[in-house]
Structure 1
């Protein structure tokens, strides 16, 4: 077990505690113009209605972090996965399955995932260093949604509503 930092929790204690917060599952998508990438993220939150801002937290070691830090990458997508898309969450979390099973489509050149409960197209608004992650604020320029059920993550496991 990792030693407790002065005045704080160990990473394992923190992870176990926050695992009690049920969250939806998203895949963040972006492209550098030649290669499209996706990353599973449940650290996603609405920030503001006016202007429409969201926030996603990205580990500094992630490939997505390097991509979003590129100056020519100005937009990213947020795909809220449906209850039938667990395989996509696992695929973009590093348990790679067949790429042909990824339902890619593009909106004005930005890769998004078909079948998601919601898709947002965001212009990178601000990047804020926060420990071992960077918080990316996105200005939402486009959104679409369905009434399908979302994929839910709780205590380290996938769940469905109902």
Structure 2
């Protein structure tokens, strides 16, 4: 019988996969909830579906599960400080977006100004997957930057830039 793969080696291997950086947002019980995420994928064109993966223990998970709507802001390279802030565990919930320029989308969720693109979704399914949930949403609105800059990417546990 072979031993299970080493979790540290798994983390290292997955770190070799470059991803874009996003901010997920929702509005629940009158408060904005947001987090930095890189687990985003296009699922289907008809209907238009995307998925995000959210850690079950994250406070964002409960807010997302209950609200039923959420936004994705795909970050530009100039938004690294925002990515850092919204990935800080234990940050205050109230006012976490006060210093981050944003607008309200069709569903009321915060969408970050200066993002390369924004996507608003209504949750269609939530699937348990280990210590995360896979949240599938139908796209209800889209926005793209007219003059997009460079993308903020995550590779080998570090932020970088992709032109």
Common fold by TM > 0.5: yes
Question: Matches of 2:142 and 2:8 in 1, distance apart?
Answer: 35
Measured in 2, the distance between the counterparts of 1:24 and 1:106 equals 23
SS at match of 1:124: strand
Which residue in 1 is equivalent to 2:74?
80
Structure 1 stretches of 4+ with a deviation exceeding 3 A read: 95-100
Alignment of 1:91-102 (within 5 A): 91-94=85-88, 99-102=97-100
Distance of 2:21 and 2:137 partners within structure 1: 17
Task: Report how far residue 50 of structure 1 moved.
Answer: 1.2
Distance 2:6 2:63 in 1: 29
SS at match of 1:90: helix
The Cα offsets for residues 77-129 of structure 1, whole Å up to 9 and x where unpaired, read as: 01100010001111110175985431121013221111110100000010000
Q: Deviations over 1:27-51 (max 9, x none)?
A: 1000114100111110111111111
Runs of 5+ unmatched residues, structure 1: 1-5
TM-score normalised over the length of structure 1:
0.89
Aligned residues: 155
The answer on 1:41 being equivalent to 2:40 is no
Instruction: List runs of 5+ in structure 2 lacking aligned partners.
Output: none
Counterpart secondary structure, 2:114:
coil
- The yes-or-no answer on 1:21 pairing with 2:17 is yes
Q: CA RMSD in A?
A: 1.8
Cα deviation digits, residues 51-79 of structure 1 (max 9, x gap): 11111000001111011121xx1210011
Match of 1:153 in 2: 154
Aligned to 1:3: none
Instruction: Say whether 1:104 aligns with 2:102.
Output: yes
